[in-house]
């Protein structure tokens, strides 16, 4: 299932993500030599509709077309089948960023076995740093995500943004797998239609390629805003929701994604209800159902029960069904590190 090559097909430097299916036989790991042997590992298109990472890689490779890379580079181009249709994943596929192996988690699928191959290959090559590039579908700032409370991870993340999120759920993501081998980060580059995400990702990749090492001393407190993801919010399967249909069980606010990275007060409305029970399933880091800690239905509206800060809220209904509505965060005290 995994295609491994040691060169750049010339057409890859200029093709669209939707055309990759005709160029690559499937998910492809590309190894390129550089002046420093321990490679920078970069993954893109784990979700086929999140194209910023792929375009940034094209820009990077074109820039270094006639010169040596400062460091060896290993590129993983993920779900080319879904990218063909501009989809996060196809209906018959697993999510390519929910099947990566790490201690305490396994997934019985061909895709998971493929991700294990990628991890084994990068372990053998003594990977230096791992970067997984993603987009959001809602309004979000650019930010970095880490899975370990580790100073090297924080330095890697803050090279991209002062806004950093620590999370351990969902399981099976690339950064959790690669964190067993090296400092690893997921970078969220806003919506794929905004080219500023490509520019930011390209600058970040160049910075990481030129790193000799990551410091292990703490990041200065004034250089990082650290948040902790404490809960995942999903809409119950039996609830019909919409952003436009007045007759749906739950009619969300049309500007719901403007709540992202805002500290919401108790009593903030997410939308109007035609049912009386909270429409969400909310799980904490232990996998426990905690909806009653966060949401209630009051006077025909679903409202927050406590101050919360959401991330990744979107107004795209298919994304909400396939993934989640949002994550809830708390500020992480830097003095506790």
pLDDT of 55: 98
> What's the rounded mean pLDDT across residues 127-147?
96
Instruction: Determine how many CB atoms are found less than 10 A away from the CB of residue 55.
Output: 21
Residues of the chain with CATH 3.40.630.10: 3-223
Alpha carbon distance 119, 102 (integer Å): 10
User: What pLDDT does 335 receive?
Assistant: 85
Which pLDDT value is given to residue 337? 84
104 has a pLDDT exceeding 90: no
**Per-residue pLDDT reduced to its tens digit, 238-291:** 999 999 999 999 999 999 999 999 999 999 999 999 999 999 999 999 999 999
Whole-prediction pTM: 0.95
pLDDT digits (tens, 9 = 90+) for 118-130: 999 999 999 999 9
- Report the mean per-residue pLDDT for the chain: 97
* Distances in whole angstroms, Cα of residue 210 to Cα of each of 51, 68, 71, 224: 24, 12, 7, 22
Distance CA 237, CA 90 (A): 19
Q: Identify the three-state secondary structure at position 89.
A: coil
Residue 317: both structure tokens together: 């209904």
- The whole-number pLDDT of residue 267 equals 98
- Reply yes or no on domain 3-223 having CATH 3.40.50.10490: no
46-77, pLDDT tens digit by residue? 999 999 999 999 999 999 999 999 999 999 99
- The token pair at 213 is 């090492």
Helix (H, G, I), strand (E, B) or coil at 12: helix
Contact 303, 309 (CB under 8 A): no
At 117 the pLDDT is: 98
Beta strands in 54-179 (DSSP E): 69-77, 129-134, 143-146, 163-166
């Amino acid at each position: 299932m995994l295609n491994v090559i040691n060169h750049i097909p010339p057409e890859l430097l200029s093709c669209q993500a939707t055309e990759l299916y005709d160029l690559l036989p499937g998910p492809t790991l590309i190894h390129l030599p550089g002046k420093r042997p321990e490679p920078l590992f970069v993954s893109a298109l784990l979700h086929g509709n999140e194209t910023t990472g792929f375009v940034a890689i094209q820009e990077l490779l074109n820039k270094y077309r006639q010169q040596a890379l400062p460091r060896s580079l290993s590129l993983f181009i993920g779900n080319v089948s879904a990218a063909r249709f501009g989809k996060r994943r196809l209906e018959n596929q697993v999510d390519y960023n929910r099947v990566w192996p790490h201690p305490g988690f396994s997934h019985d699928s061909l895709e998971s076995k493929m991700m294990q191959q990628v991890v084994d290959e990068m372990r053998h090559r003594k990977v230096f740093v791992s970067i997984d590039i993603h987009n959001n579908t809602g309004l979000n700032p650019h930010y970095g995500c880490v899975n370990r409370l580790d100073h090297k991870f924080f330095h890697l993340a803050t090279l991209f943004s002062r806004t950093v999120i620590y999370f351990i759920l969902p399981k099976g993501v690339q950064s959790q797998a690669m964190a067993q081998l090296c400092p690893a980060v997921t970078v969220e580059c806003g919506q794929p239609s905004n080219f500023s995400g490509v520019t930011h990702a390209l600058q970040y990749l160049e910075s990481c390629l030129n790193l000799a090492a990551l410091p292990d001393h703490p990041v200065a407190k004034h250089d990082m805003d650290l948040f902790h993801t404490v809960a995942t919010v999903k809409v119950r399967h039996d609830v019909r929701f919409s952003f436009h249909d007045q007759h749906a069980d739950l009619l969300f606010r049309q500007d719901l994604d403007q709540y992202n990275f805002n500290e919401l007060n108790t009593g903030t409305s997410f939308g109007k209800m035609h049912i009386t029970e909270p429409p969400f399933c909310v799980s904490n880091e232990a996998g426990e159902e905690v909806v009653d800690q966060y949401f209630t239905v009051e006077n025909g509206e679903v409202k927050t029960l406590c101050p919360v800060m959401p991330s990744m809220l979107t107004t795209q209904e298919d994304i909400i069904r396939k993934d989640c509505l949002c994550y809830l965060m708390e500020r992480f005290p830097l003095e506790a590190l």
